[in-house]
Amino acid sequence: MTRITRNTVVFLLITLLFMLAGAATVRYLNERELHDSLALDSRWIRDDIESLLRRYEHGLRGTRGAILAIGADDLSREKLLRYMDSRDLAQEFPWAGGFGFIRHVPLAALPAYEKKMREDHLLFSGIRQLADNPGDRYVIEYIEPLAPNRPALGLDIASSPERRSAADHAMLTGRAELTTPIRLVQKEQRTANAYLFLLPIYAGSVTPPTMEQRQERILGWAYAPLSVHDILSELSRRWNMHSLEILVEDVASNTTAVELFRSGGFDQIEDAVSLQTAVPLYGRAWKLSIRAAPEYAQAHQFISDRATLLSSITLAMLILWGWPIRFSPPVNASCRKPVPCWLPWWTARPTPSSPPMPGD
């Protein structure tokens, strides 16, 4: 093998290594940029969900304030409706199912409550139960707007273990609490992907300092029914504009995860770059899975595919023009003149020397 050929091979190998290293670097930078963008957008989506739930909590606090101002014993639909009409529920609390009052009825006070229920001509004729409940009753007494929520009136949520557990925990902690995923009685749902959002109300207006005092002074709960699938469907319209597909699951229970929402294109991009993050919410834990559509991946690159392709073509043309580079100028054996080393390979060939003329 000649020296020129050896130098050419070395040059080509070095060039190939640099090209491979460059391609690997570009791929790494693009993947890191994509993951960083997904992480940033996941925080944005998580903040979107948390902000909406906090807004609903403010609605519960307003409802609790109105009930305490009216007085739990003097509460009527007309008085509560006067407060509700002062708020623009659709604008202030979009996609919430409404706001209402659940009364705590001790078992010993049940006969008196049923008598008062008949005398006051409440909008329900009796207490309904989802299962047998031998203990205290937690009765849905008022809810606005009334028309879509009428089937829930008179329901004893303590007859449902999922609902009672959240109500008891809210009562003992003094904080707002979400139930486990349930089916709302006022909506026809095939899957349990809704919640009751509960905020305890105590006699004396302030939250008692101890759990024993909270149990003694509990009057009931301000509550809101939330159809999470409907809420997330509305929010996802904004997320889909950014070419993101979403899956939200409730993973706080000891049972299998409960799917709350799955966007339409989530299953169509199974091999896409994805990210998972936890969203703790009022006693629940949601898992947020995000997949980037091809358009998202294309828009969030450190170096675009077009720039990479153009650079590769340019480099290939330069190599083709300059191959092979002469590391030392070869010398023609006959005329002893160096061949220009900067010429490309198709012009840098030595020309045969002419035979000497007679007499030279």
pLDDT at 342 over 50: no
pLDDT at 83 over 90: yes
Tell me what the mean pLDDT of segment 28-53 comes to. 85
Question: Among positive and negative, which fits the CA dihedral 110, 175, 76, 68?
Answer: positive
**Using 50, 70 and 90 to split pLDDT, how confident is the model at 118?**
confident
Torsions phi, psi for 329 (to 5 deg) = -70, 120
What's the first-to-final CA gap in the chain, in angstroms? 36
pTM for the full predicted model: 0.77
Taking only the tens place, the pLDDT of each residue in 277-334 is 999 999 999 999 998 887 777 766 645 555 555 555 665 556 555 555 444 455 454 4
**Using 50, 70 and 90 to split pLDDT, how confident is the model at 117?**
confident
**Using 50, 70 and 90 to split pLDDT, how confident is the model at 230?**
confident
Q: What is the pLDDT of residue 346?
A: 45
Pair 170, 149: CB distance under 8 Å? no
Tell me what the mean pLDDT of segment 155-163 comes to. 96
Q: What is the pLDDT of residue 203?
A: 95
The fraction of the chain above a pLDDT of 90, given in percent, is 49
> Beta strand 218-227 with 177-178: parallel, antiparallel or unpaired?
unpaired
Q: What is the pLDDT of residue 294?
A: 79
pLDDT at 348 over 50: no
Tell me what the mean pLDDT of segment 98-117 comes to. 94
Q: Which CA distances in Å does 65 have to 27, 76, 207?
A: 57, 15, 13
- For residue 159, what are the contacts with CB-CB under 8 A and spacing of at least 6? 129, 130, 131, 132, 133
Average pLDDT score over the chain: 82
Tell me what the mean pLDDT of segment 264-277 comes to. 85
Taking only the tens place, the pLDDT of each residue in 170-228 is 999 999 999 999 999 988 767 788 999 999 999 988 999 999 999 999 999 999 999 99
